[in-house]
Structures are given as C-alpha cells and as structure tokens.
Structure 1
C-alpha cells in the first residue's frame, strides 16, 4: 500500500494498529484470530500461541480474553506490551499444531500451563469445558495427558494447585460459572458436590436436574444466569417450594456471587446445619 496509504487508512479508520509495527483491517480488529495473527507477525518466528489464547482457539469459551498470550524460546527476547503477554519456555515441534494456520500449543499442554499459572477459576472452568461431553475413556485420556504435562514441567510452581483442580474436574458442569462456583465451595472447605444430580419421582420419572447437590444432606446449589433466571423466576421459586416439600433446601447463586461468595457460603453452611439437625 505504501506508507502514505497506510497512514490515510489508519486515520480514516479502515485500518487499526494493535501494536506498533503491525496493522489489521479495523473491521476484524476484535476477532481473536486477527489479533493472534498480528501478535505472531510482531513477534516473528519462532513463536507459538499459548495459554488462554491457545485454549480459546481450541474452542474453550471460558478462556476467552482480550489479551493475546504467546510463547517464545528462552533465547528469544520479545517484550510484552499492553494486550500482548509474552512467555518464555522451551518446547518441541510436536507440542505445536495449527488451527486455521496459526501455530498453537496442543490442548493438553495449554491446559497444564493454564492450571499452573493462569487465573485459578478461569483455569478450572477451562479444563471442565474441555472435558464436557467427552466419552469416559476420552475424558480419562485427556486427564492423563494433562497430568503428564504438569509432571513434565521444569518449574514446580503451581503444580500442587494444578493437580488439585485436575482431580476435582469432571466435565459435568453446564457452564463456566457453574464450574467456578464448584471450585469456590470446595475451596471454602465444603464437601465436593455431585454435579448435574438427577431427581426422579416415585415412578422413576425425571423431575429435576440440579446443578450441584449434596444428596446425603439434601442440599442443592443452583446457578442462575441473569437472562434465564429473569424469565423463569416464578417457576424456579415454585420448584424450590416443591423441593422443600421433599426435604431439600435449595440455595441459589447469581453472577455477583462469583465475585463475593460470602452470602452463598453462609446459606450453604446454614442449610447443612439445618439438614443435619
């Protein structure tokens, strides 16, 4: 295009410049693949997309973030910038695969890295999402591969927490917030809940599927996404009354409780005491 045409396109908004030295079509500037490709162009080779970016490219929505993460070998010196987080580690070519032409870490390696050093709740939600819907043998294979990747890390930092979260994950939560809520309650010292617990009537017909439950205590924990809960608030209240008639106490959580779970934890502990009394 030439420098003058590029400057004009930037001034008119046809092009955007996520980082100095690389420009992208403005219409695509918020797309993950566009930002990832721009980061690779800026960094030069060798470089590979990693961490949350790698997982998002693998289709794991819990890991989606505006920042682009990439990894370069130790001998390379590439600086992080606003919106671009550069990591250093040695890796082998078999650790890398291409998604839409973009070099990215395999899902098991990306999960292992994220579990060790990423945001804890997001990392747990990501591994649960990666497991969701897998046949039991495939789920176990993924768990084994991630565990092996964790064990092979040169740095021991974060390994204990990563293995703990991997052991807790079962892939049954239906959304990232449900996974985060499960992590919150277990880290608070409450027993590990059963996820997607089925309630049948006396004839064995399905009545309800609970997000999380402690059947021995007859306590349930339900996560209400804002839009869905607004539409079915009356029906949920009626269901809670019916469950109470069966001896169950239902605690409900919303998005705000992920930021401050004190109310939910307090109500759960009160429910545990009431059901054990």
Structure 2
C-alpha cells in the first residue's frame, strides 16, 4: 500500500494502515501534526511554505488543488510573504479555513489545473490571475511578476481571465495591477522595491537594464535603473553576502562607477524598515 506524500507530508491514518508508522510514534516528538490527520517530520526549522502547502494538499486531495501563494511556491515561482498561509481551492463548502490555511471556494476549468510531481495546483496563468486580484496591490504585482518571469508570459494575458470571469472577486483591480507588472523582474523584493518608488510618485525605473562594457565585451545587468540619469538601484539579497559574490561585486560596482553611474544598494531591512529614506534618496538623485 503506497501512501501519497510519504514521508514528507502525509495522511497519518494511511501511514498507520500501511504499517509505516504507529499512532504512538506519530504523536511523539518526531512528527508534527499540521492539519487534521496530516503530518510532517519535525525538522530543525519550522515548516516553510512549500512543506505547509504539500500538507494542505493532502488535506484536500481528491477534492481540491493548491492555489495562490502555495501554487506559486510549488510551481517554482516562490514569491509569498514569509507568513503567507497555505492556500487551496475547493469547489464547495466542505473545507473550512483553519489556522495557517486559506480556502478559496471556486470551480476551476480542467485547463486551469496542472500537476507537479504528486501535487495538483492551479496553472501558472490561473495562479497569476488569482494573485493579481489580491487587495494589496504591491503583493498582487509581486505575484504576477514572479509567475510571468518564471514562465515567460505576457502579464496582459491575464485580461483573458478577467473577460472569462467578470464577476470574480477583485477582478476590477486587475487592470491597475497589470499596468505595474513587469516580467523582467528577477525577484519579489526587486518588485517591492520598484513599487515602493512608483507608488511614491517617482518615475518607473527600468527593470534589468544592461550596462555594456565595449572593451571587455561584457554587460552588467542592473536590477532597476534610470538610464538617462545613469542611476542604478540594486536589491542585495542574501546571496550577495557569500564571500565569492562580495569579491565579484567589488569589481562590478567599480566598473559602473567608473562609467559614470551612481549606484544605490538596498537590503530587505531598508525596504522593510526605512522606505521613506529610500524614496528620499532616489528623489534627490533624480532631482524631482
């Protein structure tokens, strides 16, 4: 007897019936019950969104699919906030929300469902349509950007869903979200940084602008840029803290400064804690 999701995220009753584990062990320190009858092994860190999403799928397996931030996570376009709940879509009302679980009640067209390994999720386009209707316009743009970049589609394709589902919750916000969307964005934090500037009334920066070095025959790609003013804005994620990347970035930024560029570098801490300072610095740089 095979147990779906074993040993990552699984139904406890099925695992016990298959002889893979006992109820006593499931209730012990080695396993964590995330949802009713759904367990995961205890790790050194709390379960992340990917693991919680797989657990949520086991809860609704046969009745629903992963959607929203969970679908994006499993599809390889991770973009949800750190505290995003696992999310499922079910056709009826036989699944109620629980702590850590968001439930959408909707009927999906078969063409809006795909499978990743042993988990069913909404397709990239349907997932982007769902995220693009969020109340928070910034997070809506983050979701659309991430999926459009990962799967190389034009965000305006989501208007087809808007025409198909004109009464869907939040559909009237979709055109505004699409005016801000940019499939060139390389990361959710890059999108959040861009939206911080745009919503503050600053001109929209160019995403992933190439700065060419004709002599070396190479190019440096800036996360955000105002090319006519030679202003570059970089989001520095944790990968830039690795020793080899620190050394690489030294030469990279020296070359940009030598070519007449002003470079502004920000981390998640400035974006989260000092957004007004970021806006003020870029406003002064643009002299607007």
Out of 241-250 and 52-61, give the one that drifted further.
241-250
Q: Which stretch of the first structure deviates more once superposed, 27-36 or 81-90?
A: 27-36
1:26 paired residue number: 41
Q: Secondary structure at the match of 1:148?
A: helix
Residues 50, 73 of structure 2: 8 Å contact kept: no
The structural deviation recorded for 1:52 is 0.9
Question: 1:50–1:104: 8 Å Cα contact kept in structure 2?
Answer: yes
Deviations 1:34-53 (A, max 9, x none): 64454344346432211111
Stretches of structure 2 that go unaligned for 5 or more consecutive residues are 1-15
Ranges in structure 1 where 5+ consecutive residues have no aligned partner:
none
Give distance in 1, aligned partners of 2:225 and 2:204: 9
Distance verdict in 2 for CA 1:64–1:246, change over 3 Å = closer
Instruction: Summarize the alignment of residues 151-230 of structure 1 with structure 2, pairs less than 5 Å apart.
Output: 151-155=163-167, 157-201=169-213, 205-206=217-218, 208-229=220-241
Q: Does structure 2 retain, via aligned residues, the 8 Å contact 1:57–1:99? A: yes
Tell me which protein shows more helix as a share of its residues: 1
How much has 1:235 moved relative to structure 2?
7.3
Partner of 2:114: 97
Find the counterpart in structure 2 of residue 255 from structure 1. 268
The RMSD of aligned alpha carbons is 3.3
Residue in 2 that maps onto 1:17? 33
Q: Is the 8 A contact 1:214 1:220 kept in 2?
A: yes
1:125-172 deviation per Cα after TM superposition (whole angstroms, max 9, x unaligned): 3322323366xxx533xx343221133334465335432333333322
2:286 to 262, 269, 272: 272
> What is the TM-score when the length of structure 2 is the normalising length?
0.76
Distance 1:87 1:197, change over 3 A: same
Count of residues paired in the alignment: 265
Among candidates 71, 74, 85, match of residue 89 of structure 2: 71
Q: Once structures 1 and 2 are overlaid, which stretch shifts more, 40-49 or 187-196? A: 40-49
Q: Superposition pairs for residues 230-241 of structure 1, below 5 Å?
A: 231=243
TM-score, L = length of structure 1? 0.78
